[in-house]
Amino acid sequence: MLGFARLFASRLVKAAAILIAIVVMNFFLVHAAPGDPAMVMAGEAGAADEKFVAQLREQFGLDRPLYEQLGTYVGKIVQGDLGFSYRQQRPVWDILAERLPATLVLTLTAFLLALAAGVALGTLAAVAVGTWADSAITVIALLAYATPIYWIGLMLSLLFSIQLGWLPAFGYETIGAGYTGLAHVADVAVHLILPVITLALFYMAGYARLTRASMLEVRGLDFVKTAKAKGLTQSRIVTRHVLRNAILPVITVAGIQAGQLVGGSILIETVFAWPGIGRLAFEAVLQRDYQVLLGIFLVTSIMVILFNILTDILYGLVDPRIQVSQ
Amino acid sequence: MSQFDLMRTPVETAAMNTPLLDVRGLSIALPPGADRPLAVDDLTFTLNPDEILCVVGESGSGKSMTAHAMMGLLPAPHVRVAGGSLLFKGKDVLAMPEAEQRSLRGGRIAMVFQEPMTALNPLMRVGRQIGESLREHTALPAPARRARVVELLAQVGLPNPAELAEAYPFRLSGGQRQRVMIAMALACQPDILIADEPTTALDVTTQKQILDLIRSIQAERHMGMMFITHDFGVVAEIAHRVAVMRHGKLVEYGAASDVLNRPQHPYTRQLIASVPHYIEHRDDHAKTGAPLLVADKVRKIFHVGGGLFKKSKEVIAGDDLSLTIHPGETVGLVGESGSGKSTLGRSIVGLIKPDSGRILFEGTDLLALDRKGFRPYRRAVQMVFQDPYASLNPRHRVGDIVAQGPVAFGEDRTRALTRARELLAMVGLDGSAADRFPHEFSGGQRQRIGIARALAMEPKLLVADEPVSALDVSVQGQVLELLDDIRRRLNLAMLFITHDLRVAAQVCDTIAVMRRGRIVEMGTAREVFTHPRDAYTRSLLDAIPGKSWHIPDDLQKIPAGAH
């Protein structure tokens, strides 16, 4: 357990180092924009006379040396101040805080669903390798993987909301309904179904294929022969010996994808008019809203780091050899 | 009647009339397109209680297939039993429903495998892995199972059994893992124990310990044991009866003393004749001229693990290593795995840079040279690698593999290819070999290619790192003969690295024994084998399996050095 705590601590230290690097990069990105930030801000604010720009420079300390500015910037970030969006006339942090929950609910649900269904289907295919069940799963996975994600989304919403009228076609909640408590949760859940399935299908296909391949590889290893020679039942061999070992590469890939999911759902959020970070990023790019973009950059970076740490911990729990080699 | 039969009580003799295991006309079919239709062809033998039956044969002889058929481990549907029966206490295992077969596996018939490093689930504590067997075949509650696991671990001679039960396999050495495997096999008190080359992957001293353990447990529990091996030394140590297999057929079957001392079948005779015997050391080598290579106080430390915030662990792979090799001399570097013998070999070839010391080749310190200065010496010192399957590029033709070295040193390509063909002929491969790919050759043939590749550079010193340990015993003998022949014809000096003292005895003039990164003893083969000075050397010699067995006189080879 001591090794585990040490592993966790060393991961946190590394994460902090990476975060600082990201913040510093963020700072220089602002400076890499054409003109200095004051010009950008003045442009964004719509007033561009020399005096105003000079005033902005003084106000934001842009006439100070670079290292001093960097110190101020980092100080602000640490306090949770991500800057101000002149486009939306609101602090960046407020905008992000409003959008983040919607994205997290969507992506995390989709991610967990994709992981569970993918591993289950992959296991099924590997156990029944060479049969019709294996072929069916392989074909479905291939289709889900190869079909453009927005097309699946459009087709699903065409079928389930427009033709059948079972589910809402877009949005996060029924606007103007004013639900509270459980009714609100149920309302969001109903809205969640289509985007979650659309997003999950794609990732599920990947996990299913990976699990199948990995299980087939592990199935041929010596210790599985040992397990058979012990007279264990097929189901115990599959769950305790094969799957347990085959899951390691799936965790690796899932860990990398979990971080990306936060920023990677732009298409889904656009198709289903989901008020999340992805769409915010999309809009911010169109409007050249640098402050918001940098805020999103920082938040998604933190998410990636967070999920990487989670993956490492999970890996350490599943594979006892990891703690030693770290 | 043998001595064993006379010692039994009548009851025991009666029990022996219904053998524990009765294999009748067993045939196992290989998938179409394999090198032969039947992996096992009409095999008939019996196994009695309280008996060790050694099944001997080279790789591909079908000996493991037989064991796998018994355990229901054949890779279905490609490989299947085509005929015959496997009677366990009179009942045909092959005709049983799956559930009944499963209750036999691990319950009544247990198996120990060859590779202890991979035979345990890396993600499961060893205690649990043993407990699984008990959980499947007994009604013991969990606490009783745990107690039994600790008891079993103690029985197989593992220290701190309670603590060890909680360990993961990667914490254990090869010998310890094999003990765990044996504990696992013994968990349900089986009637039959099948051991498939259980000591082949182990060092010689560990091998002796495991063999002693297996023998004492077998005797204590009166189990019937089927012991699969390719090593006649091991057979001589433990067998009561011997079955010799070749190409899926049983060629000789009888009491151990008969088969070992009066082998009838030509194949058995050939196998026994190729067993290296450590008594046959060579005559002393007459050292002439200046030494070709001098290693002087070579030291190498590896840093393991470590990172940005963590100090790495130091492993001393070689310390104060000094030896000399004269032209035409073969120096054997003998030791167990991890003793640092390969480190020294690789340092001499220039694959590893030692931390300190000198390696003088014809008076020039190789370690002081830069890359460019070292280049000419790459030619002069060549290496033959251990694994003939991994050391040849699978995408290159054999002719190219052999010719690449000289071409890299500026030789004309057509000339190099012609020379490659000559060399391939010299190592005993036919003319078409140059146009084929490595996968078309057997292990022994690949090792010949590896030797031809090294010779193409016209080296003065050949470093052979375990060149025969991946090969079958008869092929091993052929490759050793080839090396010896080439050495004599080209007056090559050779550093021969091996863990097998019997092999070293056969080919080496001088022997250096290594342990934990140090050379503990160095002397002529005669000195080391007849009057070992170091205690470790003595324990190594003592651990050689089958040393009390005298190979029949008519099958003994004339020692290579005595020509």
Q: How far is B183 from chain A (nearest CA, A)?
A: 12
Q: In this structure, what are the phi and psi dihedrals at residue A232, rounded to the nearest 5 degrees?
A: -70, 155
Q: Under an 8 A CB cutoff, do B181 and A226 touch?
A: yes
Q: Under an 8 A CB cutoff, do B73 and A244 touch?
A: no
Same domain for A14 and A116, yes or no, is no
Same domain for A139 and A31, yes or no, is no
For chain A, what is the domain count?
Answer: 2
Largest CA distance in chain A: 85
Residue B261: CB atoms within 10 Å: 14
Say how far apart CA A277 and CA B317 lie, in whole Å. Answer: 55
Residue A230 in contact with partner chain B when CB distance is under 8 A: yes
The size of the A-B interface in CB pairs under 8 A is 84
Residue A320 in contact with partner chain B when CB distance is under 8 A: yes
Mutation site, A216, A230, A236, interface B, largest B CB count within 10 A = A230
Say how far apart CA B84 and CA B227 lie, in whole Å. Answer: 21
Same domain for A56 and A180, yes or no, is no
Of A51, A67, A92, the position where a domain reaches its end is A92
Say how far apart CA A63 and CA A208 lie, in whole Å. Answer: 56
Range of the domain at A293: 105-325
Residue A245 in contact with partner chain B when CB distance is under 8 A: yes
pLDDT at residue number A85: 75
Cα atoms in the 13 Å half-sphere on the side-chain side of B81: 22
Say how far apart CA B561 and CA B563 lie, in whole Å. Answer: 6
- The domain spanning residue A275 has which CATH number? 1.10.3720.10
Global pTM exceeds 0.90: no
Of A92, A126, A158, the position where a domain reaches its end is A92
pLDDT at residue number B306: 54
Residue A324 in contact with partner chain B when CB distance is under 8 A: yes
Q: Under an 8 A CB cutoff, do B102 and A326 touch?
A: no
A231 contacts on B by Cβ (under 8 Å): 102-107, 133, 136-137
Q: How far is B65 from chain A (nearest CA, A)?
A: 13
Q: In this predicted model, what pLDDT tens digit does every residue of A87-123 receive, in sequence order?
A: 777 888 888 888 888 888 888 899 999 999 999 999 9
A131 contacts on B by Cβ (under 8 Å): none
Partner residue opposite B119 with nearest CB, options A223, A232, A245: A223
The interface predicted TM-score of the complex, written ipTM, equals 0.76
Q: Under an 8 A CB cutoff, do B73 and A229 touch?
A: yes
Partner residue opposite A245 with nearest CB, options B102, B123, B168: B123
Same domain for A218 and A260, yes or no, is yes
Distances (CA, A) of B360 to B141, B300, B323, B368, B503: 66, 16, 10, 10, 27
Residues of B with CB under 8 A from a CB of A: 71-73, 102-107, 110-111, 113, 115, 118-124, 129, 132-133, 136-137, 168, 170, 181, 184, 305, 307-310
Nearest-by-CA chain B residue for A247: B123
B119 contacts on A by Cβ (under 8 Å): 222-223, 225-226
Burial of B109 (C-beta count, 10 Å sphere; 0-12/13-18/19+): buried
Q: Which CATH class is domain B293-304+312-562?
A: alpha beta
Residue A50 in contact with partner chain B when CB distance is under 8 A: no
Which of B382, B523, B374, B516 minimizes the C-alpha distance to B452? B382
Partner residue opposite B71 with nearest CB, options A223, A229, A233: A229
B113 contacts on A by Cβ (under 8 Å): 222, 225-226, 229
Partner residue opposite A231 with nearest CB, options B107, B307, B308: B107
Residue A90 in contact with partner chain B when CB distance is under 8 A: no
Tokens representing A164 are 């059948």
Partner residue opposite B132 with nearest CB, options A230, A244, A320: A230
Residue A285 in contact with partner chain B when CB distance is under 8 A: no
| Alpha helix (H) residue ranges in chain A | 2-32, 37-45, 50-59, 66-78, 92-127, 132-146, 149-157, 181-219, 222-229, 234-236, 244-263, 266-271, 277-287, 290-318, 321-325
Partner residue opposite A226 with nearest CB, options B107, B119, B170: B119
B123 contacts on A by Cβ (under 8 Å): 244-245, 318-320
A232 contacts on B by Cβ (under 8 Å): 102, 106, 132, 136
A236 contacts on B by Cβ (under 8 Å): 132, 136
H or E segment at B419? helix B413-426
Looking at every residue in chain A, the average pLDDT score rounds to 82
Which of B281, B271, B233, B336 minimizes the C-alpha distance to B472? B271
Distances (CA, A) of B349 to A76, B287, B344, B382: 59, 22, 9, 7
Q: Under an 8 A CB cutoff, do A228 and B104 touch?
A: no
Same domain for A39 and A135, yes or no, is no
Say how far apart CA B341 and CA A294 lie, in whole Å. Answer: 57
Same domain for A142 and A199, yes or no, is yes
SS3 B313: strand
Higher model confidence: residue A297 or residue A114?
A: A114
pLDDT at residue number B51: 92
Tokens representing B173 are 């050495």
Residue A146 in contact with partner chain B when CB distance is under 8 A: no
Say how far apart CA B481 and CA B487 lie, in whole Å. Answer: 10
Q: Which residues contact B440 (CB under 8 A, 6 or more apart)?
A: none
pLDDT at residue number B1: 41
Partner residue opposite B105 with nearest CB, options A229, A319, A325: A229
Q: Under an 8 A CB cutoff, do B119 and A245 touch?
A: no
pLDDT at residue number B4: 46
Q: Under an 8 A CB cutoff, do B113 and A244 touch?
A: no
Q: In this predicted model, what pLDDT tens digit does every residue of B389-399 receive, in sequence order?
A: 888 888 899 99
- pLDDT at A326 > cutoff 80: no
Evaluate whether A104 touches A265 at the Cβ level (below 8 Å). no
Q: How far is A15 from chain B (nearest CA, A)?
A: 13
Q: How far is A220 from chain B (nearest CA, A)?
A: 9
Which of B531, B561, B524 minimizes the C-alpha distance to B324? B524
Distances (CA, A) of A103 to A97, B359, B488: 11, 65, 77
Q: Under an 8 A CB cutoff, do B106 and A232 touch?
A: yes
Nearest-by-CA chain A residue for B75: A220
563 residues of chain B, pLDDT tens digit each: 444 444 444 444 445 567 889 999 999 988 887 778 888 889 999 999 989 999 998 887 888 888 999 888 888 778 888 888 899 988 888 888 988 888 888 889 999 988 888 899 998 999 999 999 999 898 889 999 999 999 999 888 888 898 889 888 888 888 888 889 999 998 888 999 999 988 887 788 888 888 888 888 898 888 999 999 988 888 998 999 999 999 889 999 999 889 988 999 999 988 888 777 655 566 666 777 788 888 888 888 887 665 545 566 777 888 888 888 998 889 999 988 778 888 888 888 888 888 888 888 888 888 888 888 888 888 889 999 888 888 888 889 999 999 998 998 888 899 999 999 988 988 888 878 888 888 888 888 888 999 999 989 889 999 998 888 877 777 888 888 888 888 888 888 999 998 888 888 888 889 999 988 889 999 888 888 888 899 999 888 888 888 778 888 777 764 444 33
Same domain for A167 and A71, yes or no, is no
Q: What is the DSSP string of B68-97?
A: HHHTT-S-TTTSEEEEEEEEETTEEGGGS-
Q: Under an 8 A CB cutoff, do B307 and A326 touch?
A: yes
Residue boundaries of the structural domains of chain B:
117-187, 293-304+312-562
Q: Under an 8 A CB cutoff, do A10 and B310 touch?
A: yes
Q: How far is B196 from chain A (nearest CA, A)?
A: 12
Which of B231, B209, B221 minimizes the C-alpha distance to B152? B221
Q: Which pLDDT band holds residue A56 (cuts at 50, 70, 90)? A: confident
Q: Which residues pair with B295 in a beta bridge?
A: B323, B359
CA geometry: angle B248, B249, B254, nearest 5 deg: 130
Which of B100, B154, B160 minimizes the C-alpha distance to B130? B154
Partner residue opposite B119 with nearest CB, options A222, A231, A321: A222
Q: Which residues contact A57 (CB under 8 A, 6 or more apart)?
A: A36, A38, A63
Nearest-by-CA chain A residue for B136: A232
Q: In this predicted model, what pLDDT tens digit does every residue of A254-294 receive, in sequence order?
A: 888 887 776 657 788 888 888 888 888 888 878 777 778 88
Same domain for A109 and A21, yes or no, is no
Tokens representing A51 are 């005096």
Q: Under an 8 A CB cutoff, do A226 and B121 touch?
A: yes
Same domain for A220 and A321, yes or no, is yes
Strands (E), B362-422: 364-365, 381-384
Of A42, A57, A92, the position where a domain reaches its end is A92
Evaluate whether B468 touches B450 at the Cβ level (below 8 Å). no
Burial of A326 (C-beta count, 10 Å sphere; 0-12/13-18/19+): middle
Residue A100 resides in a domain: no
